[in-house]
Every structure is written in C-alpha cells, then in structure tokens.
Amino acid sequence: MLEDTAHRLDFLSLDPISKLEEEHEKQKTTVGAGSSWDDDNDYDIHGAIRLTDEQIDEFHSTGYLYLPEVFTAEELRVLNDELPGLFSRSEPYNISELSNSKIPRTNFASHLISKPFAKLSRHPRIIRLVETLLNDKLYVHQFKINKKTAFEGEVWQWHQDYSTWLQEDMMSTNRAMNVAIFLDDVNHYNGPLMFIPGSHKEGVISADYDTKTTSYPIWKVGNDVISQLVDRAGGKQGGIVSPIGPAGSVVLFHSCLVHSSSTNISPWDRNIVYLSLCATSNHIRRFKRPEYIAHRSFDPIICLLDDCLLDSTIDEQISVPWEGKLPDSALEVKNDIISDEDMQKVKEYPVHDEEELSTSCCAEAVVVVVVENPLNQLSIDDQYIVVDETMNTAS
C-alpha cells in the first residue's frame, strides 16, 4: 500500500498537464460532482454525469440504473484491444470456466495490469457518479472483466455481492456499488445480467456457499427465497429484469441487489467490466481473500480527465504495478481481522463529516453481530437482516 501511495505522489508531482494537476488538487477537498455543473449539459466540465432526481429515485427504488452509451466506440476499442493479452496470461487472477479450462471466465485486477483499464478505474464518468450516490470518496474493492464467451459462457448463480464482501472480507456496511460497463453489445441471448428489482431493500439474505456449480465460489441464494423475491417484485410482470443495450452502456447496481446470469449459447461474446467501488470510510477489515480479488489499498480514487482513455500522453504517469508478474504478496491471506496498528496504516483518508463517523461506529457493531451469527445459520424466518440503510439516505 505504501508503494501505491508513492506511485500516486509520483504521479501528482510529475504530471505535466496543469489542468490535470488542478483537478487533482480540487478532488482532494471535494466529494461528489454537484458543485460544478454546466447547466446546458448532462456532463459537468470534468466529465462527470449528472443524474436527475428521477434517476436517483429510480436507483433507490429498484436498486439499479441503466445509462446507455456512456463510452464511445473509440474508447471501447482502446479497452477491447487489451482483452486478448489480459486473458492469455497464466496467472491466478485469470479464472476459467468449470467445464472447460481453456475458456476464460474472469480476469481480476485488470486495472493493475493494463493502462487502459487503470484509466477506466479513475474515469470521472464513473467515479464522480458513484461518489455522488454514496456521498463519499471511493476506493476500488474489486475490479474484474467477466467474459461470457460465445457458445461456452457459464452461469452465475443468484447472489448478492455484499453477502460475500461481508462474510469473506468483513466490509462493515453495504456502502459500496457495482458498476457494469458493457464492452460488447448485451442482448437477451448472450447471457445478460438478471436483477430482481427492489431486492436490495432486503439487506443481506441467507445464502449457501456454492463451491460446486461454477469455478468461482459464491454465496448462492436458495431457490425458495428467489421465488418469493421474484413474486414480491411483480412475478412475471417485472419480477426479473435484464438491462440490455449497446456496448459502452453502463449499469449501476446496489451491492445488495440479488442478481445472476445464465449461460451464453449465442454466437456473441459478452464481455462486461465490473468495478466494485467502496466508500473509503467502509473499507474491509479482513484479508481472507487474495489481494487480486479483494483490494487492500484504501486511498481515495483520484479521477483523471474525461478524455483519459484516448490520451496516450498521460500513459507514462499511469501506474500498473502488476503488469509484469503478480507479486507474491497479492496471494497472501489472513483469517484474522486486521489489527489496530494495521488499521492506522490504512486509515490515511480524510473523514468528511460527523455523519460518516457515526456510520463507521455502527458498522463495527454490525461486524460483531455477523461473527456471532453466520448468515447461513439463520432460520428461514430470520433470513433477512438489514445491515445498513445509509445508502437509501445518502443522496
């Protein structure tokens, strides 16, 4: 982590573009994008997208928000050109499908390996949007590309991401957000995401650890609970929805939203990048999973400028520390909750206001409860426990 901070300082001092430096200075002191809107435009001067009140309400009500064509064909080309190189590496961060080890499923930590994906992880069109919704600075908890190969891509069982982040990583509250960026057109046939609208409001749902049906174990929500949730969400009339659309589109979804996807037996690949962004005040407390899956640098993301994907003049300043071999440290895991001393080292981010302080106090209490009551031991009557409501009030 110290190394990462050094990289960032290097980046700040060396960057020749004064506009970028000015932007970085500003970002050290502001959260969200609300203060600098250009009223003629849905984008502010730094490229952050402005959400309307209706969109924010829709997000809170359904747990997701679809934004069409946020990235251009030219920007997508820069990202897509990286995929063969990323998936061809023989490293633990590449996971293949269960039934055929030659078919790639997921590439983790792409933003520490590839410059275009490093830029995407700091892109204002994404980061400032989520900062606004979570009302905090963010760090990257997880970054991955799910491939879903034509004819071969396998299922993702019904689950909530926060269930894993809580139980494996001890992320204190659900103040974290998934952002899916379509690298390919996503249609009804190539294994789109499936959401149960409103299911994020149930908090963390009892689930079983599924190590058998796919190559990447997850906490799978049982069929009976899924049936109930789908009925509650409208059954055949909207109880399951699939955001589909052209490459470059973006879907934000709440970390508690129940979701899945089925196999891809269409002739079309379906690459989607997922940034899982966590509020810096809500960082994980346990390093039980390797660092390429659950990241350990909690420094706030500093955005680049809106044209960063197409601007190769900044490439020298973009650090990709895992571009060569994955360091052994990224494989080290620990079962214990990180010590106070370690916490001091990672808590270098500024605390923004008192409300956040009280949020982190509540959060610690939640961790204790969960240690004593593993979710998979809850009775069916207790299957829903609401861990945190802060996201519903954040905006």
Ligand X SMILES: O=C(O)CCC(=O)C(=O)O
Contact residues: ligand X, CB under 6 A = 146, 148, 156, 161, 191, 193, 259, 261, 272, 274
Number of residues that make up the chain = 395
Element (H, E) at 58: helix 53-62
Residues 8 and 5: their CA atoms lie apart, in Å, by 5
Give the nearest residue (CB) to ligand X: 261
Of 216 and 298, nearer to ligand X (C-beta) is 216
CB 45, min distance to ligand X, A: 33
How far apart are CB 267 and ligand X at their closest, in Å? 17
- Nearer of residues 175 and 270 to ligand X, judged by Cβ: 270
Q: Of all helices (H) and strands (E), which one includes residue 321? A: none
Closer residue to ligand X (CB): 184 or 291: 184
Q: Which of 272, 387 has the CB closer to ligand X? A: 272
Burial class (CB in 10 A: 0-12, 13-18, 19+), 145: buried
Contacts 24+ apart (CB under 8 A), 308-314: 308/119, 308/122, 308/123, 309/71, 309/75, 309/78, 309/79, 309/116, 309/119, 309/120, 309/123, 310/74, 310/75, 310/78, 313/17, 314/15, 314/17, 314/20, 314/119
- Please give the Cα distance from 112 to 91 (Å, whole number): 13
Burial call 281-295: b when 16+ CB within 10 Å, e when fewer: bbbbbbbbbbbbbbb
Report in angstroms how near the CB of residue 101 gets to ligand X at its nearest. Answer: 19
Rg, C-alpha atoms of the chain: 20
* 191 versus 243: smaller Cβ distance to ligand X: 191
Return the number of the residue (107 or 297) whose C-beta is nearest ligand X. 107
Residue 237 beta carbon to ligand X: minimum distance, rounded to whole angstroms: 24
- Minimum separation from the CB atom of position 161 to ligand X (A): 5
Tell the smallest beta-carbon distance from residue 214 to ligand X (Å).
Answer: 10
Residue 236 is classified by DSSP as: T
Closest to ligand X by CB, 59 vs 274, is: 274
- Shortest Cβ 149–ligand X spacing (Å): 12
